A and B are shown apart, each in its own frame.
Chain A
Amino acid sequence: MGVMIIDGHRVEFDKEKNILAVIRKAGIELPTFCYNSDLSIYGACRMCVVEDDKGNIHASCSTPPKDGMSIKTNTERLHRHRKMILELLLASHCKDCTSCEKNGKCRLQDLASKFGIKKIRFEDTRPKAEIDKSAKGIVRDPNKCILCGDCVRMCSEVQGIGAIDFAYRGSNVRVMSAFGLPLGETNCVNCGQCAAVCPTGAIVINNQTDELWHLLGNKENKRIVAQIAPAVRVAIGEEFGIMEGKNCLGKTVAALKKLGFDEVYDTSLAADLTVIEESNEFLDRINNGGVLPMFTSCCPGWIQYVEKSHPEILPNISTCRSPMSMFSSVIKDYYKKKKAEDDKDTYVVAIMPCTAKKYEADRQEFLAEDGRQETDLVITTSELVKMIKRAGILFDEIEDEAPDMPFGLYSGAGLIFGVTGGVTEAVIRRCTTEKTKDTLDKIAILGVRGREVLKKTSFMIGDKQIKVAIVYGLKAAGELIRDMAEGKEKFDFVEVMACPEGCIAGGGQPCNRYQDREYRAKGLYHADNKLQIKFSDQNPSVTQIYDYIVGKKRHELLHIDYVKENKDNH
């Protein structure tokens, strides 16, 4: 506790770890590049400098507040420093703003404009680096890197992967993978969190909107079908000035229809299928001595992490396909019959919060017999926003539309897949025999919800106690795997999501600040509250699908054996 004087005004502070947080509390948004509340403090960009009453300059992000401390945040001297930093950063930056993927969303561009940088006095003498397009989900352009290190820290501190790091020193320093390998050949899992924190266009989502425009512009003999993932609806609105976390499914469906999609479905239905398949598989493992614990399999970043870093637990991964891949195979199979009538080829476009889904769709095992991807194209929320804006659709004004039938109905259990703990909650809902309002309330307060990185809880199946762990961030997941291997922890069911707090902050979402995630999670739980169907097994669309895909086909369309796939491919 204490009081600071900021620009002549008294500001109380309590638990703030640095002056920057106190300054922000006082309503002043200091510019930063390398400060990110989810990551460790780095103090490299020096944009957040402040001046104390002795005229000393401090980086506010790495200076703890002291009682009675008096600082100024906006003196002429500080502005001169900040301008110089910007000028130097811009001097070694490619400055192709208008043709940059990050145009309009770049912090460097924004600050250069705010600080009125008109001329750069220094020459760019760096050699030009090659653009790395080898990873399916992200594109890296080292020429736009300002060395803030956000991606490096995200990759190692949150994801525990460390695919990229600083290399060399002094004026030669750059962010790169070991030995300068293309990202696609490293242990990168395409989670896209580096792109989410990159303030410039140095790491961006692999933009495939042109492919979609082409598809939509050449629709003869094609049936173009969209599926929208749960987490998209609570994030997309922010880009159009709609309240954070508001459920914009109806508007998204309407916008997709306007863009030219023939059918629009909701991936939440496939999540319901996943719940049922995963629950059945889990019960089977429990009752028939199968491999335990069982890990969830819906997150493609997590799957790649296991394949690349912990192949020993591949047998523990559920054989269920992710909701996206389940849905694509079901849709493609369903429309085979219809093709005979109207001779239209079906194309499935998945609207996802996730960059790793681009990788998943491209995986060998998810290619159809004709060599085409089962999910023909994955478009992230951010890419869809760009398309809607390009088409001039007034997103905030359009009338809501409901998803199409027969794959339009979904339960609340499928919907909450988009937030950490959601899969577990849905599975518990499925596994309980009593399906009442009371049960739902009890499950909700079981400890499956909340923002903690690792949550532990348990529930009963009959007289058996099932121990559950829910974790997000691959570093935490890796630590959990280690603890379990060493016998320190024991669980029966483990849910893993690669991104902070689940898909709501996926690498394909617009702006993933800490506070955004809270609203998005609330938005999903709120949408769940408003739905009549809460249990995946009570969703009539699910029953319909099961009536249609029976027997051997059920396994073929809904499951994938990652152990076998890895043996076959390596």
Chain B
Amino acid sequence: MKPEDCKIIDDILLANDNNATNLISILQQIQKQFHYLSREVMEYVAGKLQISTAKIFSVATFYENFSLTPKGKYIFRVCDGTACHVRKSTAVLNALRGELGLIDSNTTDDLMFTIEIVSCLGACGLAPVLTLNDVVYPAMTPEKVKALVKEIKEKEYGKNK
């Protein structure tokens, strides 16, 4: 691991009193910084907290919220809770997958986009709903999704792509 990454983790650990009982919160803060939990990071934290790497792996794999693989710069969370589902979230999801070319995987190879399916975002009145980097987009349709993706792509790759 790079020294500056170690420094970031050390600071997070210090803020949590190097206390292993704060593991979930520590992992959340680390994920916020690095967008996912790498093997190196988990091994580093295990060494620092004097707990086994298997324990950290256990916690990290238990919660859906933790990702063990790198995520994209833009994270779409598509709600597939009951309300969104009956209001055709599947069509929204399929449109998004089609636009981003993400059929079998959830993250684009250039680490730009990630799609996650969540059970409920707690905004059933706005169904079908998705969030893009924690900004809520209500009453989505496949057309709206296409427009949204186009906008970001133009910003990131320029108009020609």
Contact = CB atoms under 8 A, between A and B. Distances in A.
Interface of A: 156, 161-169, 176-179, 186-187
Contact of A165 (B39, B42, B57): B57
B157 interface: no
Nearest to A161: B52
Interface residues on B, range: 10 to 19
Given A178-B42, A179-B57, A165 B62 contact: no
A174 to B, nearest CB: 10
15 contacts: A162-B51, A162-B55, A163-B54, A165-B52, A165-B54, A165-B58, A167-B54, A168-B61, A168-B62, A176-B54, A178-B43, A178-B53, A178-B54, A178-B56, A186-B53
Given A178-B42, A179-B39, A167 B57 contact: yes
Contacts of B51: 162
A156 B55 contact: yes
Given A178-B42, A179-B39, A179-B57, A162 B52 contact: yes
Contacts of A161: 52
Interface of B: 39, 42-43, 46, 51-58, 61-62
A77 to B, nearest CB: 33
A178 to B, nearest CB: 4
B23 to A, nearest CB: 13
Contact of B52 (A163, A166, A169, A179): A163
B62 A178 contact: no
A162 B61 contact: no
Contacts of B54: 162-165, 167, 176-178, 186
Contacts of B42: 178
B61 A169 contact: yes
Is chain B's binding surface mostly helix, strand, loop or mixed?
A: helix
A146 to B, nearest CB: 18
Q: List the 10 closest A-B pairs by CB distance, nearest first.
A: A162-B52, A165-B54, A178-B53, A178-B57, A165-B58, A178-B54, A167-B61, A168-B61, A169-B62, A162-B54
A166 B58 contact: yes
B119 to A, nearest CB: 13
Nearest to A187: B52
Residue in B43, B51, B61, B62 whose Cβ sees the most chain A Cβ within 10 Å:
B61
A334 B62 CA distance: 57
Interface centre among A168, A178, A179 (most CB of B within 10 A): A178
Contacts of A169: 61-62
A116 B61 CA distance: 37
Contacts of B62: 166-169
Contacts of A186: 53-54
A178 B43 CA distance: 9
Nearest to A156: B52
A167 B42 CA distance: 14
Contacts of A187: 52-53
A164 B57 CA distance: 10
A455 to B, nearest CB: 25
A167 B58 contact: yes
Nearest to B39: A179
A374 B42 CA distance: 39
A484 to B, nearest CB: 16
Contacts of A163: 52, 54
Contacts of A156: 52, 55
A438 to B, nearest CB: 46
Given A163-B54, A165-B52, A165-B55, 9 more contacts: A162-B55, A165-B57, A167-B57, A169-B62, A178-B43, A178-B52, A178-B54, A178-B56, A178-B57
Contacts of B58: 165-167
Contacts of A179: 39, 53, 57
Contacts of A164: 54
B46 to A, nearest CB: 8
A67 to B, nearest CB: 35
* Most chain A beta-carbon contacts within 10 A, residue among B39, B51, B58: B58
Contacts of B39: 179
A249 to B, nearest CB: 39
Nearest to B64: A169
Contacts of B57: 165, 167, 177-179
